[in-house]
Structure 1
Amino acid sequence: MPPISGVPAQKRPNWLMAVLRSCLHMLWMLVTVMPWAIIMLVASIRVRGKPLWWMAVRWLGWAIGGARVLLGIRTHVIGWENLPTGDTAPAILLVKHQSTFETFLMPTLMPHPLAYVFKKELLYVPFFGWAMGRLDMVHIDRSQRNESFAKVVEQGKRLLAQGIWVIMFPEGTRIPRGQTGTYKLGGTRLAVATGAPVIPVAVTSAKCWPRKAFIKTPGVVEVSIGKPIPSEGREPKELMEEVQAWIEGEMRRLDPEAYAPQR
Structure 2
Amino acid sequence: MTRLRSALFVAWGVLTVTPWGLTAVLLSPFLSATRLYWFCIAWVRLLFWGARVFCGVTHRFTGAEHLPVGKREAVILLAKHQSALETLALCALMPHPLAFVFKRELLYIPFFGWALGRLDMVHIDRKKRNEAFNKVAEQGRRLAAQGTWVIMFPEGTRIPRGQVGDYKTGGTRLAIATGVSVVPVACATARVMPPRRLLLHPGVYEISVGRPISPEGHSADTLLAEVKTWIESEMRRIDPEAYVATAAPAPQAGHPA
The TM-score with structure 1 as length reference comes to: 0.91
Mapped pair 1:158 → 2:103: no
What is the 5 A alignment of 1:1-40? Answer: 17-40=1-24
From 216, 231, 248, the counterpart of 1:247: 231
Residue 155 of structure 2 aligns to a residue whose secondary structure is coil
CA distance in 2, matches of 1:64, 1:119: 24
From 69, 72, 95, the counterpart of 2:79: 95
Shift of 1:48: 3.5
% identical aligned pairs = 55
CA distance in 2, matches of 1:200, 1:185: 13
CA distance in 2, matches of 1:119, 1:78: 28
CA distance in 2, matches of 1:248, 1:233: 23
CA distance in 2, matches of 1:145, 1:178: 28
1:84 corresponding residue in structure 2: 68
1:184 corresponding residue in structure 2: 168
2:211 corresponding residue in structure 1: 227
Structure 1: 5+ residue stretches without partners: 1-16
Structure 2: 5+ residue stretches without partners: 247-257
Number of aligned residue pairs: give it.
246
Shift of 1:257: 0.9
Shift of 1:143: 2.2
- State the one-letter code of the partner of 1:157: R
- State the one-letter code of the partner of 1:66: G
Mapped pair 1:148 → 2:132: yes
From 64, 69, 73, the counterpart of 2:57: 73
1:204, 1:221 within 8 Å by CA — same for their partners in 2?
A: yes
1:94, 1:199 within 8 Å by CA — same for their partners in 2?
A: yes
Residue 199 of structure 1 aligns to a residue whose secondary structure is strand
Residue 227 of structure 2 aligns to a residue whose secondary structure is helix
1:132 corresponding residue in structure 2: 116
What is the 5 A alignment of 1:35-54? Answer: 35-54=19-38
CA distance in 2, matches of 1:53, 1:59: 10
- State the one-letter code of the partner of 1:95: A
CA distance in 1, matches of 2:114, 2:28: 11
CA distance in 1, matches of 2:161, 2:205: 12
1:92, 1:197 within 8 Å by CA — same for their partners in 2?
A: yes
Residue 118 of structure 2 aligns to a residue whose secondary structure is coil
- State the one-letter code of the partner of 1:180: V
1:196, 1:230 within 8 Å by CA — same for their partners in 2?
A: yes
2:94 corresponding residue in structure 1: 110
From 154, 162, 168, the counterpart of 1:170: 154
CA distance in 2, matches of 1:153, 1:108: 26
- State the one-letter code of the partner of 2:80: K
What is the 5 A alignment of 1:208-219? Answer: 208-219=192-203
CA distance in 2, matches of 1:133, 1:172: 20
Mapped pair 1:64 → 2:48: yes
CA distance in 2, matches of 1:187, 1:130: 26
CA distance in 2, matches of 1:70, 1:198: 35
Shift of 1:163: 1.6
Larger radius of gyration: 1
Provide the alpha-carbon RMSD of the alignment: 1.0
Shift of 1:214: 2.6
